[in-house]
Amino acid sequence: MNKIDQLFDQFYDHAYEETVKAVGPAERRTILTNTLHKLLGDFSYLDDTRIPFKTTSVDTKVFETYQRELVTLSITELIDIKMYILTPATKKAVYPSVLAVHGHGYGVNEAVGLTKDGQAEESTIHHQFAVQLVEQGFKVFVPEVIGFGERRLDRDIKAGNVNSCEAMATNLLLEGKTLAGLRIWEAQRVLDYMEEADQVDKENLAIMGFSGGALISAYTSALDKRVKATVLTGFTNTFKGSIMAMHHCIDNYIPGMLNSAELPEWIALIAPRSLFIESGEEDPIFPSQYTREAIEEIQEHYHSCPEKFSYDIFPGAHEISGRKAYNWLKTQLIDSSVKHEI
């Protein structure tokens, strides 16, 4: 380890030492929740520009086990979200519903198993997880995250850049805001829409995210108690073991977070609501050894309700598995015998 490495280790050690506060667990949770709101940036002005939800249907396809509708969801005069809505073919009045948040790649089409142009089936590291969810009996809402696919800036579309994360994040940072904050604000508005949508059991809402989508899912769930169950794939780790240890997209970095807590404690704000963590044994950017460290710490926050927490370190890399997560989610939401405490 050279002197520059040692210097940055000292930065980390100093910041993490500052997170230790002489307060009780309940007070610390309140402090961290309020701090998270502040660190993400103030987007409340967007609430003043909201319009009544408007959906424009773009395309509908009916399959043997589900229906897939592509819509444009208008939230403000400037915010139109491309979104797939997947509904099981079974005839029910309402369904437990999942907000499915994709990660880095070419956009929302990956989550539903389509190519970039939406013309054919395609399997990527997302493993069409939204389709897997609807086939488990969930109604699934799959928005395109701002900065990806059709929701990139013109300059990045023209330049052929796969996303607009850097341009959006740096511009927002100059204004004291974060790209994560904007994405979480949008996720909460989609939850608002889900509560109003047809065939949605609004008492049983879940969120599942992969990679950068898991960041959005984790912090959305931490802040929004409407989310009864959360599945995080390819994200749970420590800051030191992942985004501080190697190259990651700028959208992972929220200024000041380490001054208050390491990543496991931020994720633990979801407790005591249901949480499932999965990660690939060979994930090169969120190494499993640090995932295990994070899981051990998060698990301590579920000592009074161990049935609400589970995890799976699966054979694989940076990808979605679902080999245990989907059944776990069914148990948490579809099994009516399970009681949820908030």
Please determine, for residue 338, whether its predicted confidence score (pLDDT) is greater than 60: no
Domains in the chain, CATH or no CATH each: 3-334 (3.40.50.1820)
Q: What pTM, to 2 d.p., does this model score?
A: 0.94
- Residue 272 has a pLDDT of 97
Please determine, for residue 339, whether its predicted confidence score (pLDDT) is greater than 80: no
- Residue 115 has a pLDDT of 93
pLDDT band at 289 (very low <50, low <70, confident <90, very high): very high
pLDDT band at 47 (very low <50, low <70, confident <90, very high): very high
Residue 157: how many other CB atoms lie within 10 Å: 13
Report the distance separating Cα 318 and Cα 235, nearest Å: 9
- Residue 159 has a pLDDT of 97
Q: Is the dihedral of CA 142, 268, 254, 277 positive or negative?
A: negative
Report the distance separating Cα 298 and Cα 312, nearest Å: 14
- Residue 24 has a pLDDT of 79
pLDDT tens track for 112-147: 999 998 888 878 999 999 999 999 999 999 999 999
Report the distance separating Cα 204 and Cα 230, nearest Å: 11
Helix (H, G, I), strand (E, B) or coil at 69: strand
pLDDT band at 19 (very low <50, low <70, confident <90, very high): low
Please determine, for residue 337, whether its predicted confidence score (pLDDT) is greater than 70: no
pLDDT tens track for 52-90: 999 999 999 999 999 999 999 999 999 999 999 999 999
pLDDT tens track for 260-275: 999 999 999 999 999 9
- Residue 21 has a pLDDT of 60
Q: What is the mean pLDDT of residues 172-197?
A: 97
Q: Which of 102, 145, 103, 100 is nearest to 285 (CA)?
A: 103
Q: What is the mean pLDDT of residues 91-99?
A: 96
Q: What is the mean pLDDT of residues 293-303?
A: 97
Mean pLDDT (the chain) is 94
